[in-house]
Each structure stands twice: as C-alpha cells, then as structure tokens.
Chain A
Amino acid sequence: KAGVTQTPRYLIKTRGQQVTLSCSPISGHRSVSWYQQTPGQGLQFLFEYFSETQRNKGNFPGRFSGRQFSNSRSEMNVSTLELGDSALYLCASSWTGDAAEPAKNIQYFGAGTRLSVL
C-alpha cells in the first residue's frame, strides 16, 4: 500500500507570493492533518480535514488555508508569504481521526514539503 505522498518536495518562493501544497493520503484514510515544523517551534498543528470539512484548526493566521477533495486528497494554501513561513510542512493521514478509537487516529506522515521564502 502506498504511503502518504506530498508534492512538491521543495519550494522556493519570495515574500508576498502564494503557494499551494498537495497531499495524497493512504488509500482508505479519510482524515488529513497538516503541520508546520520549524527548528524553534517544533511540530505545530495547522488544521485537520475529514470528509471534505475542516474539523479542527490550530492557531495560525487566515493566510493559511486548506481543503479536502472527495477522494480525501488535500491541499494547503499559504497566501502573502512571509519570511517566517519558511518551514517543513508535513501532512499526515489517519483512518478516521476518531478520538474514541485511538488506533484509528494514528498519524501516518508524508516526507514533507520544504518551503523556503526569500
């Protein structure tokens, strides 16, 4: 079974631009979560999608948005890029993200997209 696929692997953008990152979850997984990882802040939760709906949201500005398609694939968009947005963006999928069934909430991560904002 194929793992979580994130594209592109690397991106270089300049301040003010916008960027779209893509995530294809493991087949059958319906929950997709996005995380930002920086050396100083660790792994920060951005948002979670389930059945095309945003189910949970972290503490990030509105410049960060996402969506999920009917096939569970997800995209994340960052508008008006800032230098501080340089980070590794990780996508993780799980079966249902059902809090009542911990085994179905195990996160399977992709390799990430390394975004550099110049």
Chain B
Amino acid sequence: SQKIEQNSEALNIQEGKTATLTCNYTNYSPAYLQWYRQDPGRGPVFLLLIRENEKEKRKERLKVTFDTTLKQSLFHITASQPADSATYLCAPGYSSASKIIFGSGTRLSIRP
C-alpha cells in the first residue's frame, strides 16, 4: 500500500528564514500532489497543486517542487512569518482513484 511520510517532528524556524517541509512517498507514483495548511481545531485549507510533469510551482511566498525520481515533494515558505505557523499536510493524488489520502503533517512554528 502507499506510504506517505512527512517530518514527524515539529519544525522551528526563525522569522524571515525559509522553511522547507518534506513529503516522501513510496510504491506508487502520484499523478499530482496537493499541499494543505491546517490551523488548530479547523479543517485543512488547500494551498498548492503540482502535477507530475511540473518541476516547480509558485504562489506568492510559497514554492512546491516535485521530484518523481526521488519520490519527494518539497514545500518552501520564504520570508517566513509567525502567521505561517500551522501544520502542513501533503496529499498525493492518483489518476486511478479519486480518494485523497493525507500525510500525517508537519507542524511548523515560526518564532519572532
């Protein structure tokens, strides 16, 4: 079965630095990857989608990469701010199935 791995430990970053979160998958190669942000007690919110034929996607201070050789996606937040503190979830998607399975998430804390 598919396994999705994200940094299990919380990531603590100084404000202004770049935060980099990792999402690794095994076995089946996804056709695309979605990244979501979740704040405590709330539902996840969609951030970015990257397809397998795209190396990189950007949105404002966010950047996502997708390396099908390494079976990995990286999520970057540049010029990080305390308001970026949240849990970030990756979710690989497959062309053969409509269900979306989420990774366990990485908790990011940006300290002033």
Contact = CB atoms under 8 A, between A and B. Distances in A.
B52 to A, nearest CB: 10
B93 A33 contact: no
Contacts of B44: 43, 90, 92, 107, 109
B100 A42 contact: no
Nearest to B4: A42
- Interface residues of B, dominant DSSP: loop
A97 B98 contact: yes
Interface residues of B, number: 27
Interface in A54-113: 55-56, 58, 88, 90, 92, 97-100, 102-103, 105-112
Which bucket holds chain A's interface residue count? Answer: 20 to 34
A100 B44 CA distance: 22
B99 to A, nearest CB: 4
Given A90-B43, A102-B49, A43 B105 contact: yes
B43 A92 contact: yes
Interface in B90-112: 91, 93-105
Given A42-B104, A43-B102, A102-B31, A107 B46 contact: yes
Given A42-B104, A111-B42, A111-B43, A103 B49 contact: yes
Nearest to A42: B104
B95 A99 contact: yes
Interface of A: 4, 31, 33, 35, 42-43, 45, 48, 50, 55-56, 58, 88, 90, 92, 97-100, 102-103, 105-112, 114
Interface of B: 31-32, 34, 36, 41-46, 49, 51, 89, 91, 93-105
